[in-house]
Structure 1
Amino acid sequence: MRRKPDLMWILVLVFTLGVVTTGYTQSYFDRPAAAVEAESISPE
């Protein structure tokens, strides 16, 4: 019975790392797109 909580914490850790990595990756890819969009909007 001692193994099940350990497995649960490993799954929670993996899930949390996946969420953090996904959020970081999305913000990383959204930033250049926003910069390119801002440049195309500027009148210069």
Structure 2
Amino acid sequence: MKRKPDLLWILVILFGLGVVTTGYAQSLWANKTDAPVELAQLQQQSTAFKR
């Protein structure tokens, strides 16, 4: 009878999938010319100066 995978291996696999998914998402994000986060930060800075 096969032994069930240890919890450690499950966590390692989940961590690896998270790293791969994050890398893929960042590569897609870098290809975009209009990054919403940068725009949001610029808008917050401009509203801070208006006060």
Pick the TM interval, shorter chain. Answer: 0.5 to 0.7
Over the residues paired in the alignment, what is the CA RMSD in angstroms?
1.9
**1 or 2 for the larger relative contact order (CA 8 Å, sep ≥6)?**
2
Q: State percent identity of aligned pairs.
A: 10
Unaligned runs of 5+ in 2: 35-51
Normalising by the residue count of structure 1, what TM-score does the alignment of the two structures yield?
A: 0.60
Unaligned runs of 5+ in 1: 31-44
Which residue of structure 1 aligns with residue 20 of structure 2? 16
Structure with more helix by fraction: 1
Normalising by the residue count of structure 2, what TM-score does the alignment of the two structures yield?
A: 0.52
How many residue pairs get matched? 30
